[in-house]
Amino acid sequence: MKLELFTPDEMAEADRLAIASGPFDGDALMRRAGAAVAAEILARFPGAVRVLVLAGPGNNGGDGFVAAARLAEAGVPVQVHSDAPSHAGDAGRARAGWSGPVRPLAQFHPLPGDVVVDALFGAGLARAVTGPAAEAIGRANDSPATVVAVDLPSGLSGRTGRPLGPAICADLTVTFFRLKPGHLLEPGRSLCGETALADIGIPEAVLPAIGCRTFRNEPPLWLGLFPRPQREAHKYARGHAGVFSGGASSTGAARLAALAAARAGAGAVTVLSPGSAMQVNAMHLTSIMLRRAETPEEAVAFARERRLAAAVVGPGFGTGSRCAEFVAALAGLAAEGALRLVLDADALTSFEEEPQALFRILERREPGAEPPAVLTPHEGEFRRLFPDLAADGTLSKLERARAAALRSRAVVVLKGPDTVIAEPAGRAAVNANGTPHLATAGSGDVLAGIAAGLLAQGMPVFEAACAAVWLHARAGSRFGPGLIAEDLPGLLPPVLADLLAGEAGR
């Protein structure tokens, strides 16, 4: 599976390196790209009445002209619309290879049964589309025709996934060699429709020179480090996770996180509760252990005594100085390498008045040390901790998460339909299996628990966060409509079984 995500600049460098090393020059790569688009259309839409190709002035337009020629050779009625002048270079040669008429964009009027090929502008677009091209985009979007985008829907930024102005809404996007962030970051993911990745002959040998640090979050990224119980293991060998509960009226979130940690494989899970909530927690816990912890000192003492490997603070805990004190105390253990933290919800909001206080207590000074914590903010919580990053409209979600990880010295999981996971050293992943069914109260508490369960078993922090996000989304998709947070922990065993069975079958 091709996991790397290339920025438009990195993709341009891949093209350059491929052309320099051969065997294909730029003209050959363009011909292979256009042929790949044509092949997808022939395979998927054999009943198309016509194919209408919108060709722009650059290489994207050249791909469109090649696709048009291939489709015409296959007997498909094809019309090409372009306002771009003929010119030299690979795109010019591709245009010269089209023997039919070239109509102006103003004459583009798609009808039912048509397939529209959007080859106006590719992933490198840096400004809003205007004039006849913008009008053509509007007519394509308003029509009942099927739309196939070449590389990326025109008008969409390959870097941010955001429209720069009018943008194509495609049913299918055919791209080449590697996906770009814009294929996965919303609203780009939705505008792309289904994305097909075509091999056009760029060799894998170009990857080391590019040094890509951004990935699609799929199991091959982290499965090699996923915890697997050994025959001789006992419960504490599989890791002990702690989850800190709020008061008597707000205990459910902690129990959701605790059950998720257990289902994710932690050998032992303890809910640490204030005295006022002991009875209500005891009424709902069976396999999850319960311990009273009124103060940060009691929490630290228990963590040392029972060798907590991971802890969740935040779900239902309550905001304010008491929560901040618990985080600070536990972060001291994390600084020693004795504990990894998952900070969610109230644990993040408790530092909104002074985010730097949180970042200071998470600082690890040992060279090469793993981040001590995973922060799991949604967009509102992110805005409270990183107001300047949230307000910077020039940054993509990926860039915001990466900058936040560097500043906080933690792994940041910036949640949403396109969740981004980033670590301080620069690696980042964009999740691709999100589902709207997870937009339900308590879902984030379950995600925090899954992450803690994996951390408790010794999985590295970045990989544990990536795996937790993927498992959480897969569980949500498995249930579908009607999902509530209580359903999620019980869905983890079959998801894990499928994951590990797939590994055994490879």
Separation between Cα atoms, residue 397 and residue 468, nearest integer Å:
19
Determine whether domain 8-212 maps to CATH 3.90.950.10: no
Q: Which amino acid is at 346?
A: D
Integer CA distances (angstroms), 262 to 230, 283, 465, 487, in order: 17, 18, 16, 14
Min mean pLDDT across 58-67, 221-230, 490-499 is at 221-230
Query: What distance in Å separates the CA atoms of residue 237 and residue 92, rounded to the nearest whole number?
Result: 65
Q: Mean pLDDT, to the nearest integer, of 460-486? A: 97
Reported as type and span, the H/E element at residue 503 is helix 487-504
In the predicted model, is pLDDT for residue 72 greater than 80?
Answer: yes
Does 382 score more than 90 pLDDT? Answer: yes
| 400-429 mean pLDDT | 97
- Contact status, residue 412 vs residue 401, Cβ threshold 8 Å: yes
Q: Are 222 and 450 in contact (CB under 8 A)?
A: no
**For residue 106, what is the DSSP state?**
G
Q: By CB neighbour count within 10 A (0-12 exposed, 13-18 middle, 19+ buried), where does 503 fall?
A: middle
Instruction: With beta carbons less than 8 A apart as the criterion, state whether 165 and 125 touch.
Output: no
What CA–CA distance (Å, rounded) separates 334 from 359?
A: 13
Q: Which residues contact 248 (CB under 8 A, 6 or more apart)?
A: 276, 277, 279, 280
Q: Angle 292-293-294 (CA atoms, 0-180°, nearest 5)?
A: 115
Compute the radius of gyration of the chain from its Cα atoms.
26
Q: What local confidence, expressed as pLDDT, does residue 235 receive? A: 66
How confident is the model over 280-302, as a mean pLDDT?
A: 97
What average pLDDT is seen over the chain?
95
For position 396, what pLDDT does the model report?
97
Neighbours of 384 (CB within 10 A): 16
For 180-207, the pLDDT digits (tens) are: 999 999 999 999 999 999 999 999 999 9
Nearest to 300 by CA among 272, 269, 276: 272
Q: What is the dihedral of CA 468, 471, 477, 481, to 10 degrees?
A: -60
What confidence tens digit (pLDDT) does each residue in 444-458 have? 999 999 999 999 999
pLDDT at 365: 60
Q: Is the pTM of this model over 0.75?
A: yes
pLDDT of residue 234: 64
Task: Give the DSSP letter string of 127-164.
Answer: S---HHHHHHHHHHHHSSSEEEEESS-TTB-TTTS-BS
- Of 230-239, 380-389, 484-493, the one with minimum mean pLDDT is 230-239
Taking only the tens place, the pLDDT of each residue in 105-123 is 999 999 999 999 999 998 8
- 44 residue type, one letter: R
Region 61-79 average pLDDT:
98
Does the pLDDT value for residue 505 go beyond 50? no
Band of residue 464 on the pLDDT scale cut at 50, 70, 90: very high
Per residue in 140-179, pLDDT (tens digit) is: 999 999 999 999 999 999 999 999 999 999 999 999 999 9
The pLDDT, as a whole number, for residue 504 is 44
Residue 506, pLDDT > 60, answer no
**Residue 338 confidence (pLDDT):** 85
- Residues 77-104 have a mean pLDDT of 93
Where do the structural domains in the chain lie, given as residue ranges?
Answer: 8-212, 236-504
pLDDT of 84 higher than 50: yes
The confidence band for 402, taking pLDDT boundaries of 50, 70 and 90, is very high
Supply the CATH classification number for the domain 236-504.
3.40.1190.20
* % of the chain exceeding 90 in pLDDT: 92
